[in-house]
Structure 1
């Protein structure tokens, strides 16, 4: 199942539409309507973790080794991430084209990409946080040794700086920056509430984000999303009062919502990719799954089954930035 059904058809439709001038012909209107339909359903066709679990089940049935299954997963996820970014770019170009033709599409796309991040930006941002305390090997020798080991396994040349949020009782962790300039931050609540093995699993997940350069991917997606919002407003303004209704005049109204769904879908894809990479780094599916379940219980306040409040509705799935924990745990175990 493709992450973006109809992406190739959308690209072909944009090319064809730019070379047509007869808006009144029924054939042209049909092609444009089909193009708009593909753009609109892209957000609804965003990949969910159940799709990948179906792949995992097929791989298990085929008795593929765990390492091969993980490599296949990473290849599939990278392809899907690229298709989501391509879908956002096509949606932006389409919004610009509706309002300004070929030149409008070109301007919309060329002006949207973010500038390269300044060197040392992640470290600088954490140093400026008054609630963040940088850790040194003298402060936390065991934690530093653990991070060094995981980085070596991951092939990461530059070890991330470590920070702790001492006043934060919640259990959380996050990574910032690129493979050459990264920071991994843990809360005091996570360090106290998890076993050393579970902390290692969480660290492996965050270092996987760094190795995959997920921050850069999400920054590009966010920039495209903002550009789509701007292009939609400008296109609607240019179409206001036009003598003749544009066949795709409705699309700029929907484009920002479609872009939001695509960005959320990309975030879910990157989370699953980090889970799979973390499993490669620590080789312990039970501990990684246990850490995810413990986080779920902490954030939902459940003391029994960790998935008691999980939502199974399709709409809720599309509006999540992370896959449901139940799906993530099942996915990790499928790849073990």
Structure 2
């Protein structure tokens, strides 16, 4: 696909990353940063940022760095970015369920990142190849919110599902004003990603990174790629999904588990000695850790836990 590169000076000139609160618009772009745009997807203009707060829990406000002060954004509150996956959008199960649970649990600024122009393609490989540029654009947006003083990186989490987990990772890699506090990858997309790929979610993309693997080796990435990696029911398939040939039921189970975990600390898992105990389905346990939640943690390693087949999923 033919691509061309728009450098930061151009971004500033078209106003995508400029701000009326600083007379020198060049300061509102990332130095030495560029975003590649393809003919069908321009992440700088096609990605839409939907703000939800307790003042507007169901009707979003579209925000930019130029409109943030006219929105319901509250700088005193924590920030949660949600990034959907392939063939999804702001109204998907992931976006709506996680958004609602976060707002029920705390008074957050919840930003649903709608990159459906780039993700909703007939060819999965096309969407997969856009995760890097989408992540860079999200990083630019986060940096600009930090510059205007409305976002504290130490109080910012990103939650992504499927390809959205890798977009989140790329956002974390490219933020220039510090480090994202936490990234949660809900069954990060597998298949077209390998351990050697540099545009996937990785351990170092935030202060704390966590993955919940529910269709490992199918729709989801198999190996541990985050600070803490949880494998409910050994990670490949999930109870209650029946004959799940496509793996979609197990893949979406990560959404349901994380949503429940936001207001629960009952997903207590056993720490394994390594990934080989997951594949061997034998994890006696050398410690424990709680999966998910709306908090950054200091966990590291590989974890196993069993869940119920229906909600509530936590057994502890």
TM-score for the superposition, normalised by structure 2? 0.29
Identify the structure with the greater strand proportion. 2
Rg comparison, structure with higher value = 1
TM-score for the superposition, normalised by structure 1? 0.27
Identify the structure with the greater helix proportion. 1
